[in-house]
Amino acid sequence: MHRRDFLHVAAASPVLARAASNPTPAYRVVTPYKPASSPGSPGPYKGHVTRVHAENSIDPESERVDAGVVRRMISEGMRGMTGDKDERDAWARFFTPQDIVGLKVNCSGAPNVMTNPEIVTDIVQNLIKIGVPPKQIYIYEKFKNQMDTVRYEQYVPGGVNVVAAEVGRGDILGYDPNVYVEADFFGEEDTRSFMVRLVSETLTKIISLPNMKEHRAAGVTGCLKNIAYGHFSNVDRSHRWEKTNTDTYIGTLAAVEPIPSKTVLHIMDGLRGVWHAGPFSRDKKFRFFPKQMMFGTDPIAMDRLLIDVIDDKRKREGAPSVFDRSKERIRFEREVDAQYNRFIREPGHIKYATQFDLGVYDIDQIKINRIDV
């Protein structure tokens, strides 16, 4: 029995009663950082999403990614978003040679579903073209063991930094003790989640590179979750029982400065995705191939479109919507049947985040620029 399973069985009913009586925890946000005058998120393209599709970007059988097609997708996406004819001008709108740029990859589903190295490589090359030195570029994630399965350092020029906040699980040196969010979810001993030190102390700009994935607790995991749970320690405690706190915790974390000020660009990797049992699923039957990427500065608008991508696939597979809250759909066991789930999903976390002015949720107010390569 895993520790999380043991905690679920051993926890007394008063814990669940407490969660039910206090559905919105009291959050205490501690940060010395102030919002920038021109925040990165939702940024200059609030409510705008550029979606690029390329049928030949990935082969579903071998799952081989075509690097040349990916380069065209990124060029079209950046120029389509900004309106620039030269892709160097598009990148220069966001970054200068003086910036220290972090690429927040997502490796939680690696080695099967993660931010593809081909995408990371092209982004690094574009940063270098506009004058950002390799030593000022950081590819980073929370857990080193996940990054090690991808080996980004093999794909990028020498000098580019590839780092993780936790070299060993539970390491605390990679987190900033001066920036944290405190919340008591179920009477746990450790009630603080600390920000990744690289983010608070070193980086001047961040590019968030999430995947297109269903999430058993959050409903979907895209831009918001990548910059929220991906930038803080001790976050899994928010979803240990069927009724979780993901609906309020994700937006709360994503809004903690300096994250929204520094995160100037979101590029969602949708070459392959996960439509059930995410984000860690290694079952190929739950993988699919949207063959697309999304570009924007508005994480909420992009995540709102992600909901439809995931739900449309689930509908085609005969699976319930991520909005389904039926008790009979809950089973506390490994998700091998798409009709059941361990948690009540909370895709409402995306709409909840609008109260922090992180973007546009209303689908009728989102402008989509569709490009086929």
- Mean pLDDT value of segment 136-162: 96
Torsion angle of the four alpha carbons 26, 31, 36, 39, in this order, in degrees rounded to the nearest 10: -50
Q: Of 167, 186, 144, whose CA–CA distance to 20 is shortest?
A: 186
Cα 304 from Cα 47, distance rounded (Å): 10
Q: Of 260, 264, 258, whose CA–CA distance to 94 is shortest?
A: 264
The amino acid at residue 362 is: D
Assess contact for 310 and 304: CB atoms under 8 A.
no
Q: With a cut of 70, say whether residue 14 has pLDDT above it.
A: no
Q: List Cβ neighbours of 155 (8 Å cut-off, separation of 6 or more).
A: 117, 118, 120, 121
Q: What is the pLDDT of residue 331?
A: 87
Q: What is the pLDDT of residues 43-89, one digit of tens each?
A: 999 999 999 999 999 999 999 999 999 999 999 999 999 999 999 99
Q: What is the pLDDT of residues 240-278, one digit of tens each?
A: 888 999 999 999 999 999 999 999 999 999 999 999 999
- Mean pLDDT value of segment 25-43: 95
The amino acid at residue 141 is: E
Q: What is the pLDDT of residues 94-136, one digit of tens each?
A: 999 999 999 999 999 888 899 999 999 999 999 999 999 999 9
Of all residues in the chain, the percent with pLDDT exceeding 90 is 86
Give the DSSP H or E segment for 7. Answer: helix 3-10
Assess contact for 180 and 197: CB atoms under 8 A.
no
Residue matched to tokens 């976050």: 235
Separation in Å, CA 314 to CA 84, 213, 244, 291: 36, 12, 22, 17
Q: What is the pLDDT of residue 373?
A: 96
Other Cβ atoms closer than 10 A to 158: 7
Give the DSSP H or E segment for 227. Answer: helix 223-228
Q: Out of 17-21, 212-216, 237-241, 310-314, pick the least confident.
A: 17-21
At 4, list the tokens. Answer: 């999380």
Q: What is the pLDDT of residue 169?
A: 81
